[in-house]
Structure 1
Amino acid sequence: MELQSFYRDTWAEINLDHIFYHVQSLINILPEEVKVFAVVKANAYGHGDVQVARTALSAGANFLAVATFDEALSLRQKGIKAPILILGATRPQDAALAAELDLTLTVFQLDWLKQANEELNKSKRLRIHLKIDTGMGRIGIKSGKEIEEIEEYISEHSAFYLEGTFTHFAQADSLDKTYYNQQLSTFEELLKSFKQRPEIVHSSNSAAALRYPEGYFNAVRFGISMYGLTPSLEIEPELPYPLKQAISLKTKLVHVKKIQKGEKVGYGSTYEASGEEWIGTLPIGYADGWIRKLQGQEVLVDGQRVPIVGRVCMDQTTIKLPSSLPVGTEVTLIGSQGAEYISVNEIAKKLETINYEVTCMVSNRVPRVYIQGGEIVEVSNGLIS
């Protein structure tokens, strides 16, 4: 018997046309010589790594970027052959495998290079990008002396190829440009320390790429806005083109019941009916990333906003219905239904967090349904391979 793609009435829809649109829209505002890294770390911010990677590359992205070695390995195992930059730290003992898989590693320590050199098969050069910390305070070198030492070591050891260098802005999504300008100036000054500037120089994240041409150099990293989400609400009016949210989160009613005044709902009995009410049960909960703090958040059913009542459980959530509705009625938690719309930003506001965290929280047990040209083109289920 052939297995279905998934067996529960909860899923996330990913509009690949919107991903494609955002990559092409960015390319259209960039100078021709500026290349694009499509950032697909954290399972493409919860949207699906390989599906987004393929779409971004088909739209014209030149490279991919991830956070960890495992994320890069996953893409290679799924058939992605494009250049992949690992933005985070990689263990020196994994350098040989990185070279074999043609992965590009981020480096920010001379000692790391010395340890990695002992691991490398000298027949395969390891491509590296040197990370410069200009004020983010995470990983990265901070001085021209460090650049000179690392560049000299690389020149003496043929196992390495210094392909690129980059930094990361801490406040490019702020209306106040002061700290951005300070970081950019520091980066430009440190670039002078290279005897030979690497061929790829990149500093801009989504916020900077959409707002500050002076920081382009010859490559930019496109992350959150590739998914149709603004880097911050305050800069939204400054964006050069409209963003189209790529993700929707949907489920269906699995049970509907009438309760009377005084009856309670959920753990802790935190909700009590004020009169005769219809309660609907949804097969989604905090194990799916729809967390307890969303109690009271509205969802869309029958084209109307209705509230979550009672505590969100691990696997189920209850809502107050406007009337008796049939089991199987579709409910939208994120996205549009009729004239109503619930954005990722609305959920982020409820959770007192940012949109990045909301999409990354959608767990792997929520199937992803990929839409292109208005049709389902793929279904991915993290629990059924």
Structure 2
Amino acid sequence: MTISYHRPTKAVIDLNAIQQNVTQEQQQHPDKKVFAVVKADGYGHGAISVASAALAAGAEGFCTATLDEAIELRCNEFTQPILILGIIAPSDAPLAAVYNLSVPVAEINWLQEAAKYFHDTSLKLHIHIKADTGMGRIGFLDTKEINQAVKWMEQEENFYWEGIFTHFATADQVDVQYFQAQTQCFNDILQALPYKPDYIHTANSATAMWHQDVGNMVRLGVAMYGLNPSGTDLEPPYPLQPALSLVSEIVQTKKLPKGYGIGYGKTYETKEEEWIATIPIGYADGYTRNLQGFNVLINGQSCEVVGRVCMDQIMVRLPKKIDEGTQVTLVGKNGGKEISLQDIAAYEGTNNYEVACLISTRVPREYVGKG
């Protein structure tokens, strides 16, 4: 998708906020290495710029979801450890080794298949064993199989066992019963290992913020972007600094008579003479159709989105005539008021992660702060 620089809609990313969030996490856990999670283009914030800011704040490594995301970091001269969190194809194992990447393994068959593609004994692939302790996604279920995988790697020149990890399903919830069960399961796995690898990690943002764990590494994801992993269920132990604002401008203002239909399907009809403004953002930009009835901020006032959200435009009801070219805040602060990604998430019935990730590549990212 082409980035649309020649319109007023843009996402503004505060790199100082990214750095502050990383620093606060380091202060919470000075004994752990922080790996900045920059998957999905840095949760929609821009992976390369976020990685640079996190590195400047003291992050010691990175996590991505895919091999291509990891290679992008390497091609931008990031030499730090990079852990891919998703399973890659066995045939791509030598490529991951060439780029000095770490990958997860969830079954011994993957290791045996990947070994067939190595023809250079000098290549070394770093492996993190993934244990499924209750998430139901990728990972070994059986301790015996984990130990078999460890033993198998000891005999192979192309594989180095670097880490073991799991992922908690309910670390962001008030009820800790399931979290504790997963913790016990992982601890049992650790006790059964013949020895410990370099990295042991269970802490995503939520685990790092609200729980104690046995690991020596934190996978700092959504909290790095200033977003609460639990939404509103739990209070963060330190103030998070939201990094993303989404802004645009009014491109047309006009007074419409009573009974005038607005947008596709005529889902809104003016109740009296009303000032209606058009804003150049729509669902192709990640401002989804179900945000009809939500609000934007103009001159510090909440203005309702009326009519269906179009692919490229929205219409809002104004309290009075407001000049074209006036800034519109869809996420962020304006005139003493604020709309957060969490506010949008609550309205849409989702989480703040999804709202950030949905902001499409058509929307330019503008960076402020040190980086």
What's the TM-score once normalised by structure 2's chain length?
Answer: 0.97
> Which of these residues, 218, 221, 225, is aligned with residue 220 of structure 1?
218
- Tell me how far 1:8 sits from its aligned partner: 1.2
Give the letter for the 2:25 counterpart.
L
Q: Distance in 1 between matches of 2:331 and 2:5?
A: 20
Q: Which amino acid aligns with 2:72?
A: S
Per-residue deviation, residues 7-61 of structure 1 (Å, max 9, x unmatched): 11100011111110010001011143x1111111111111110111111111111
Q: Which moved more, 1:346-355 or 1:78-87?
A: 78-87
Give the equivalent residue in structure 2 for 1:279: 276
Structure 1, residues 180-230: CA drift from partner, whole Å, max 9, x if none?
1110110010012221211110001111101112x1421111111111110
Shift in Å at residue 323 of structure 1? 1.5
Cα deviation digits, residues 226-248 of structure 1 (max 9, x gap): 111101134432x2211111111
Corresponding residue of 2:247:
250
Go from structure 1 to structure 2 and tell me whether the alpha carbon gap of 1:65 and 1:157 turns closer, same or farther (over 3 Å shift). same
Q: In 2, Cα distance between the equivalents of 1:212 and 1:73?
A: 32
1:48 aligns with 2:65: no
* In the alignment, structure 1 residue 148 sits paired with structure 2 residue 147: yes
Tell me how far 1:306 sits from its aligned partner.
Answer: 0.5
Kept in 2, the 8 Å contact 1:164–1:198? The answer is yes
* Structure 1 position 167 matched with structure 2 position 183: no
Quick check: 1:295–1:312 contact (8 Å CA) kept in 2? yes
| Contact in 1 for aligned 2:296/2:303 (Cα 8 Å) | yes
The match for 1:96 is 94
User: Alpha-carbon deviation of 1:327?
Assistant: 1.3
Matched, 1:177 2:176: yes
Contact 1:50/1:80, CA 8 A, preserved across alignment: no
User: After TM superposition, where is structure 1 displaced by more than 3 Å over at least 4 residues in a row?
Assistant: 233-236
Q: 3-state SS of the aligned residue for 1:130?
A: strand
Q: In structure 1, which of residues 56, 59, 62 is the aligned counterpart of residue 57 of structure 2?
A: 59
User: Among residues 38, 45, 48, which one is paired with 2:36 in the alignment?
Assistant: 38
Count of residue pairs brought into register by the alignment? 368
State the identity as a percent: 46
Whichever residue aligns with residue 88 of structure 2, its letter is: T
**Structure 1 residues 270-349: aligned runs within 5 Å:** 270-349=267-346
The Cα shift of 1:80 comes to 2.0
- CA offsets 1:331-351 (integer angstroms, 9 cap, x no match): 000100011100111100110
After superposition, the C-alpha distances for 1:122-171 in whole angstroms (9 at most, x for unaligned) are 21111110000000000000111111110111011011000000000000
Alpha-carbon distance in 1 for matches of 2:197, 2:296: 50
CA distance in 1: counterparts of 2:232 and 2:296, whole angstroms: 25
| Alignment-derived partner of residue 370 in structure 1 | 367
Which has the higher mean CA deviation after the structures are superposed, 38-47 or 117-126?
117-126
Compare relative contact order (CA 8 Å, sep 6+) and give the higher one, 1 or 2. 2
Kept in 1, the 8 Å contact 2:173–2:234? The answer is no
Offset at residue 77 of structure 1 (A): 2.1
Residues of 1 paired with 2:338 and 2:230: CA distance?
19
RMSD, matched Cα: 1.3
Counterparts of residues 11-30 of structure 1 (less than 5 Å):
11-30=10-29
Cα distance in structure 1, aligned partners of 2:361 and 2:229: 24
Aligned partners of 1:282 and 1:216: how far apart in 2? 50
Cα distance change of structure 1 residues 100 and 345 upon mapping to structure 2, 3 Å threshold: same
